[in-house]
Amino acid sequence: MNDASASQQIDAIVRKTTGWRGERLGQLRALIRGADPGVIEEVKWKKPSRPEGVPVWSHDGIVCVGEALKNAVRLTFPKGAQLKDPKGLFNTRLDSKTVRAIDFHEGDAINASALKALIVQGARLNRS
């Protein structure tokens, strides 16, 4: 799948996600793309319960996955347990041996610099 079609699909997912969650997903997407110019957008895991699929940002492997949940927007880092998180952004999936995630709730501030650092670290980890 080429980038344009994946990016267009993510545009559609962001548009289809109503209210603050769509807005937040769009903000996070812009931040991820700004943090790592080499990041590639993909859409994975299409299934009947989620026919549009899930936005994925990769750089030599998956860096993070974005999902709009009922009451939050979640960024999941498949290798999050290996990332240094000095600002304590990870707030869910903390019991996993590999995965870490950040749930953003309505009104939560985004620590842009700390999040960008996690993105850059995630991409670097994929290359190592």
Confidence of residue 3 (pLDDT cuts 50, 70, 90): low
Residue 120: its pLDDT value, please? 97
Q: Does the pTM of the predicted model rise above 0.95?
A: no
Q: How far apart are CA 109 and CA 6, in angstroms?
A: 28
Q: Given a cut of 90, is residue 2 above it in pLDDT?
A: no
Domains of the chain, earliest start first: 3-127 (3.90.1150.200)
Give the pairing of strands 73-77 and 62-68.
Answer: antiparallel
Compute φ and ψ for 68, nearest 5 degrees: -90, 115
Q: How far apart are CA 86 and CA 1, in angstroms?
A: 36
